[in-house]
Amino acid sequence: MFASARLKLTAWYLLIAMLISVAFSVAIYKASTDELERFARVQRFRIERRIQEGFPLPPEVRSRFTTDVALITETKRRLLLALVAINAGIFIIAGTVGYFLAGRTLEPIQDMVDEQHRFISDASHELRTPLTALKSSLEVHLRDKNFTLKQAKTLIAESIEDVNKLHLLSDNLLQLAQYQKASGQLSLEKVSLSTIMREAVQKVTPLAKQKNITIKNTAKDMLISGDMYALTNAFITLLDNAVKYSDNKKTVSLSSKKTLANAEIFISDQGIGISRKDMSRIFDRFYRADSARSKSVSGGYGLGLSIAKKIIEAHAGSISVESKLHKGTTFTVRLPLFS
């Protein structure tokens, strides 16, 4: 598809370049031949006047005139040839440059289309697995002749749980698609970091309580330009992960630092940590480290961090991670200060 689009675009570039080049060539040819013909006319006029006035015309003047006319015809022919050669050269150069430029023009569009295809195939794959499991479980029980009311109730409860998970997955996919569309979609306003942190901590507190985990919030207040709702969601994800991937009775801390242009926020835990191999991939869509899978920590589809990263990047910020396996992890978020 892109190969033919590239050829079409090259043809358009070539057409534009050739139209300009041919138009210039015609103008140059016309101006030059007009000038030559004007010169020949003046010569002829002088000779005719001399003849009319009865002056004898020396043979060398007559032969010079004939030579001049032949020279003019030859010059016109050579000019035409030179212009054709120049246009042929321009055709080859414009074709090559046009093909290269068409490739460069289409590259971001191709990347975007590839990314969309990957997104759709990842999403369908993730949706297919739980749906197939749900379908087979329902079918098996439907065929069971000794299926009791109590068993039916259990099955319905389990199915609702699965449907809830699918609901969460589709919500996450929608969020990811929404934040993928860059910063234009966010409503940026002056927001206080401590309000965002307070809300995020509040949301995660019930889970932390279940695990007897203390959340220590020493983040200073700073003003940033951001979308309150989106940023709160990003920090909920980071805090939720810190709690999820920590053993009971540990501490999760939230702190901050002001640099010249940025607010730096640190979310640290004393949890399972992230191996070097996983570190570069945890922000990828649907990526879950083996340690997270094997511990079967509930919930996640490996979308939280990629959504958080998209949100932070849409605010012209950045996110990085440092971790030691079995010791703990620190995520650092940098966001531009309000100015």
Q: Which residues bind ligand ADP (CB under 6 A)?
A: 237, 241-242, 245, 269, 271-274, 282, 287-289, 292, 299-306, 329
The H or E element containing residue 323 is: strand 318-324
The distance from CA 168 to its chain's CA centroid, rounded to whole angstroms, is: 25
Q: Based on CB atoms, which residue is closest to ligand ADP, 90 or 169?
A: 169
Closest CB 197 distance from ligand ADP, rounded Å = 17
Please state, in angstroms and rounded to a whole number, the distance separating the CA atoms of residues 63 and 61: 5
Give the nearest residue (CB) to ligand ADP: 300
Q: Based on CB atoms, which residue is closest to ligand ADP, 262 or 306?
A: 306
CA-based nearest residue to 211, from 235, 254, 241, 237: 241
Closest CB 155 distance from ligand ADP, rounded Å = 26
Q: Are 257 and 238 in contact (CB under 8 A)?
A: no
Q: Based on CB atoms, which residue is closest to ligand ADP, 13 or 245?
A: 245
Taking the CA atoms of residue 101, residue 104, residue 108 and residue 111 in that order, the dihedral angle to the nearest 10 degrees is 130
Q: What are phi and psi of 88, to 5 degrees?
A: -65, -40
Q: Based on CB atoms, which residue is closest to ligand ADP, 137 or 291?
A: 291
Closest CB 88 distance from ligand ADP, rounded Å = 58
Q: If DSSP codes are grouped into helix, strand and coil, which group holds residue 190?
A: strand
DSSP, residue by residue, 250-300? -EEEEEEEE-SSEEEEEEEE-SS---HHHHTTTTSTT---HHHHHTT-SS-
Dmax (CA) for the chain in angstroms is: 134
Q: Based on CB atoms, which residue is closest to ligand ADP, 263 or 272?
A: 272
Closest CB 261 distance from ligand ADP, rounded Å = 27
Q: Based on CB atoms, which residue is closest to ligand ADP, 244 or 315?
A: 244
Q: Which two tokens stand for residue 251?
A: 């501490």
The shares of helix, strand and coil residues in the chain, as percent rounded to the nearest 5, are 65, 15, 20
Q: Based on CB atoms, which residue is closest to ligand ADP, 10 or 329?
A: 329
Q: Based on CB atoms, which residue is closest to ligand ADP, 25 or 268?
A: 268
Q: Are 246 and 210 in contact (CB under 8 A)?
A: no
The 10 Å CB-count burial string (b at 16+, else e) for 173-190 is bebbeebbeeeeebebee
Please state, in angstroms and rounded to a whole number, the distance separating the CA atoms of residues 289 and 273: 10
Q: Based on CB atoms, which residue is closest to ligand ADP, 226 or 304?
A: 304
Closest CB 323 distance from ligand ADP, rounded Å = 7
Question: What count of residues does the chain have?
Answer: 339
Name, in order, each residue with C-beta under 8 angstroms of 51's C-beta and a sequence gap of 6 or more.
57
Closest CB 215 distance from ligand ADP, rounded Å = 13
Closest CB 133 distance from ligand ADP, rounded Å = 18
Closest CB 105 distance from ligand ADP, rounded Å = 34
Closest CB 293 distance from ligand ADP, rounded Å = 7
